Amino acid sequence: MPNANTKPDVLQLAIEHALSRNSDLVDLLTPITAEDLEIEDNGTLDTVITCPKLGWSETLNQEWALEFRTDDFNIDFDLVLAEFESELADEQLSQLSELGLSFEPISLDFRTQEITFEFLFSWGGPSEALRFTLDADGKWTIPTDIEFIFKDWFECESVEADPETFSGLVDFAFWLAEFAHEKAEAEVLKMGIV
C-alpha cells in the first residue's frame, strides 16, 4: 500500500495531463459528423437535436422537424448536419478559442530567427502549456519542437508531442501556427532582424 505522503511522479502526471488535453483537442478539432448528433426528449412535441460533444442543442418545432424526417419519420441527421454545419463549426471554434489563458511568443533567437510560442491552458498548481517553435525558413507557419509543459509547484516536466500519441496537441499547434504567423513576423520586424 503506497504511503499517503508519497507524491506521484511529476513526469507521470505530465503524461496523464497531456493525454487528457490531447483527448479534448481531438474532439474539438475533429469536424462534427451526423453520428455526433442525437435526439433529446424535452417533454414537449418539439424535436431537440443535440451534439453532446459540444454541449450544443437546437429545438425544432413540429413543422420545422418535418423537413428533416425520412419517409418512416426518423430524423435524417445528414440533413440536420447540412442545415447546422456552420453553426456547429462556429461552436467548435468558440470552444477552441476559450481553451487557454494566453498565447504569446516567449523567446526569439536572433541568429536563427526562431520564435518559440506558448499557449497557456492553465496557471497555478498545476500549470499546463503547449510550446512550439516557428522559424523563418518555414515563414513562421510550420511548428516544430512541439511539447506539452506541466508545472506542479516547483517541479516542471515537458512531454514531446509526437503525432502518433498526441495528434490533438500537434494538430492544435498547427492550428495556432496560423495565428502565430502574423505575431512572428511582427515580432521579428519589431526587433529589426529581417
3-state secondary structure of 71: coil
Q: Is residue 2 part of a domain?
A: no
Does residue 1 lie in a domain region?
no
Judgement on whether residues 105 and 93 belong to the same structural domain of the protein: no
54 SS3 class: coil
87, amino acid identity = E
pLDDT at 132: 94
**Do 103 and 169 reside in the same domain of the chain?**
yes
50 falls within a domain: yes
Do residues 64 and 49 touch, judged by C-beta distance below 8 A? no
In a shared domain, residues 48 and 89? yes
Q: Are residues 51 and 146 in the same domain?
A: no
Q: Is residue 5 part of a domain?
A: no
**Which has more pLDDT, 17 or 44?**
17
- Beta strand pairing call for 144-152 and 127-134: antiparallel
> What is the extent of the structural domain holding 123?
10-29+99-191
CA distances from 8 to 5, 15, 98, 121 (A): 9, 12, 29, 21
C-alpha triplet 76, 81, 86: angle, nearest 5° = 160
Tell me the per-residue pLDDT of 96-137, one tens digit each, with 9 for 90 and over: 888 889 988 888 887 777 889 999 999 987 899 999 998 766
Same domain, 92 and 108: no
Cα(171)–Cα(130) distance, rounded to whole angstroms? 12
DSSP class of residue 11 equals H
- 144 and 180 assigned to the same domain: yes
**How many independent structural domains does the chain possess?**
2
> Does residue 180 register a pLDDT over 80?
no
Note the pTM of the prediction, 2 decimals.
0.77
What whole-number distance in Å separates Cα of residue 77 and Cα of residue 38? 8
Out of 75, 97, 119, a domain closes at 97
pLDDT in tens, 129-156: 999 998 766 566 688 899 999 998 888 9
pLDDT of residue 122: 93
Do residue 123 and residue 88 come from a single domain?
A: no
